[in-house]
Structure 1
Amino acid sequence: MKNKTIGIFGGGQLGRMMAQAALPLNLDCTFFEASTDCPSAVLGQVFSSQDPQGLEQFIASADVFSLEFENTPLADVDLLMQSKAIHPPRQALAIAQNRLSEKTLFNALAIPVAPFRAVDSLETLKQAVTELGLPIVLKTATGGYDGKGQFVLREAEQIDQAWQELGPAKSLIAESFVKFSREVSIIAVRGQNGDVKTWPLAENHHHHGILSHSIIPAPNSAEFLPVAQDYITRLLNHLNYIGVLTLELFVTEQGLYANEMAPRVHNSGHWSIEGAVCSQFENHVRAVAGLPLGSTEVVRPSVMVNIIGQHPKTEDVLALNGAHLHLYNKTERAGRKLGHITLMPVNSDELSNLCRQLAKILPEPLALTQDMNI
């Protein structure tokens, strides 16, 4: 019997980790990526998006398809869907590519979001400021990630500057600034039979707009977990979703507010490779391939730390008890995610101390030395 092959749009670290999870299940992977020398290249054939025949060859290479990046071109997906299936569904991808569509869906499903307005001119930006009040966050409706494509507008005098920086995008969204105590995310998976499983909430911390580390389970989150599970299950079922979906949330005095969703495996779920019975990557490929889902039970509390910009010394990281190192085969560059480290010592009481040890050996300073109440 021929092994099933999964075609993945994108060949970065997420595609790499999906393919690593597929290997023990005798599932092969191919990739569609601009560069054939991408992080996933060691795990399967890469078809170049720069090659005029690359997309057609990629479509012919696999039985079923998925993706690692929500900005996968819809035109490519449309061509694929003439003959093959893709998970997650096109509708989820299209909605996630447009923040206005995304917030509108959240409203329709009674998932709380900050008040927002569509902005397509300097005049509608001024109107949004009048209606929403300040501060507001102005974002491009499409594109932008890791803090890019947005402007926090705190004073009326900044209106012209905000429009000059983002206005050429034309389609913008203005959101009321949410007063939140922390950001959390919930990751869930839905199988082809409609089975839904969720991992615990992760508490996420950022450094210069990029996720620096996640704490799992999020401290003091028991009261929020059922609510987050309900919200993400509404999305999964409404979209008839197959695969892993992530919902980023703000913790406020009024409860949880949705920030955005990601129709893919997510950085805040990397801990699950060692920290859960079945990782987000394995459960995603299981769902895409039509296999039963695995348990999302936590093995023990963990902290996942991104390696950003510059590599630490491998021997220093591996000398830490309970540290699991994952490198993505990427060259160093400021702001680039080069790998991650999951900390999960046998004695979970040592986790805070282990974070402090790690902070001393990371080239890029992160706020790991604070008391995280783990």
Structure 2
Amino acid sequence: MKKVLVLGAGQLARMMELAGTPLNLDVKAFDVRSDKVVQPISPEHEYGDLAQGIINCDVITAEFEHVAHDTLSECEVSNKLYPSSNAIKIGGDRRLEKSLLAACQAANAKHYFVNNKTDFDKAISTLSLPIIFKSALDGYDGKGQWRLKSQADAQDTWQDIEKFLAESKGSVKQGIVAEQMVPFERELSLVGVRRLNGDIAVYPLTENHHTNGILSVSVAAPVNSDLQQQAGTVFKALTDELNYVGVMAIEFFQVDKTLLVNEIAPRVHNSGHWTQQGADTCQFENHLRAICDLPLGSTSLVRPTAMVNIIGEDQVSDEVLAIPSVTMHWYNKGKRAGRKMGHINVSGETELILAQRLVQLSTLLPAATFPDLAEFAQNYLAKQS
């Protein structure tokens, strides 16, 4: 039995444990809040500190990219960490990410690095409005972002950014990446996996919908083969450059027939949760297969599937389970506004059936918690009719 240690003890580690058990893998997690190694599903069970966890495991991985660098260094020297600490750091720092994209000639939005007021002014003169300013570190779910649409708002925006930079703490200096806002048609993401020996498999592109800056719905269905090929080429270039091992997600903006990289995530990803019911091998199992040097499982789409995030709600109507091909995934978290509490996967034999089930699901979920799911579902249904 191989033993896997996950850095981070949230829902992604939890789903890795669930996927690893049938493979006879022992998955434990390092809780960065308590500094203890725990059982992801039953965190009340503790197994010592990080040093003990490193000694007791065969392989180390991470469920999030904002891991303290001293923790990554401690894991790296064990020669057990996959993906590498470098890959994880790149996923957690937009400046490093942009450098990687440049090295791989991966198309992305025009950008400028901002560390002070001079840089801020230069960014405004170099890029055209509207501009989005993103924190280089710790930004997720729409946090750490400022949108500048008018020159008249520039001074107020800079004051907010200046305060943010002054209050930022950590061993790595915070910074800002200014990006030309892209008039994209839709956001797509590609989840793929690379094994230790270089084998690669990618899942179908997934269309993402956001509500208040947080991913609310992802739909996996047959897509344009040219777009799929573009995305796959970028995935191979990035993962080969990093000698990457494990699952990586890449978020793209589609502009006409071209894909621009928005950001990368060196881990299993929210937009890949649909794979639990829509593919033979889910992203969590394939990540474990890759880091444990096992043959990769099929990433083909078995049936059109959508994932609906449950945000800030700890219960939904039991009638949801009466809808065919609906599966609940709760994370066992305490209720908090804006928190990802679980997700619902919905599948259909065709996109039309999937759309009909999404509409049915939307009628059973509270509009206050799922504010635009009904509109999304109706629009999706209209496209299939």
Identify the TM-score tier after normalising by the shorter chain: over 0.9
Within-5 A mapping of 1:1-374: 3-33=1-31, 34-35=33-34, 40-42=40-42, 45-46=45-46, 54-167=49-162, 168-169=164-165, 171-217=175-221, 220-253=223-256, 255-346=258-349, 348-363=351-366, 364=369, 365-367=371-373, 368-372=376-380, 373-374=383-384
Structure 1 residues 1-50: Cα deviation after superposition (integer angstroms, max 9, x where no partner)? xx110000011110001111100011001111125798924289546xxx
Q: How many residues align?
A: 366
Q: Distance in 1 between matches of 2:258 and 2:196?
A: 31
Distance apart, 1:321 and its partner CA? 1.2
Q: Secondary structure at the match of 2:262?
A: strand
Q: Secondary structure at the match of 1:72?
A: coil
Asked whether the 8 Å contact 2:28–2:37 carries over to 1, the reply is no
Q: Distance in 1 between matches of 2:74 and 2:342?
A: 33
Q: Distance in 2 between matches of 1:263 and 1:45?
A: 28
Unpaired stretches in structure 1, ≥5 consecutive residues: 48-52
Q: Secondary structure at the match of 1:287?
A: helix
Tell me the TM-score normalized by structure 1.
Answer: 0.93
Asked whether the 8 Å contact 2:202–2:299 carries over to 1, the reply is yes
Residue 331 of structure 1 aligns with an amino acid whose one-letter code is G
Asked whether the 8 Å contact 1:212–1:366 carries over to 2, the reply is no
Structure 1 residues 223-280: Cα deviation after superposition (integer angstroms, max 9, x where no partner)? 2100000001101111000000110000013611000000000000001011101111
Residue 17 of structure 1 aligns with an amino acid whose one-letter code is M
Q: Distance in 1 between matches of 2:105 and 2:349?
A: 41
Q: Secondary structure at the match of 1:223?
A: helix
Q: Distance in 2 between matches of 1:325 and 1:65?
A: 28
Is the deviation greater in 197-206 or in 336-345?
336-345
RMSD: 1.9
Residue 123 of structure 2 aligns with an amino acid whose one-letter code is A
Q: Distance in 2 between matches of 1:277 and 1:83?
A: 33
Q: Distance in 1 between matches of 2:153 and 2:177?
A: 16
Unpaired stretches in structure 2, ≥5 consecutive residues: 166-173
Structure 1 residues 186-239: Cα deviation after superposition (integer angstroms, max 9, x where no partner)? 01100111100000000000011000000102x653321000000011011110
Q: Distance in 1 between matches of 2:37 and 2:243?
A: 35
Q: Secondary structure at the match of 2:42?
A: helix
Q: Distance in 2 between matches of 1:37 and 1:161?
A: 44
Is the deviation greater in 117-126 or in 55-64?
55-64
Shift in CA distance, 39/251, structure 1 to aligned 2, threshold 3 Å:
farther
Distance apart, 1:345 and its partner CA? 3.0
Shift in CA distance, 272/144, structure 1 to aligned 2, threshold 3 Å:
same
Shift in CA distance, 43/344, structure 1 to aligned 2, threshold 3 Å:
farther
Asked whether the 8 Å contact 2:132–2:181 carries over to 1, the reply is yes
Q: Distance in 2 between matches of 1:278 and 1:249?
A: 23
Is the deviation greater in 165-174 or in 249-258?
165-174
Distance apart, 1:313 and its partner CA? 2.6
Distance apart, 1:151 and its partner CA? 0.4
Shift in CA distance, 254/355, structure 1 to aligned 2, threshold 3 Å:
closer
Is the deviation greater in 256-265 or in 219-228?
219-228
Q: Distance in 2 between matches of 1:46 and 1:159?
A: 50
Shift in CA distance, 223/254, structure 1 to aligned 2, threshold 3 Å:
closer
Tell me the TM-score normalized by structure 2.
Answer: 0.91
Q: Distance in 2 between matches of 1:46 and 1:303?
A: 35
Structure 1 residues 309-341: Cα deviation after superposition (integer angstroms, max 9, x where no partner)? 113435122111110111111121111111111
Q: Distance in 1 between matches of 2:150 and 2:62?
A: 40
Residue 155 of structure 1 aligns with an amino acid whose one-letter code is S
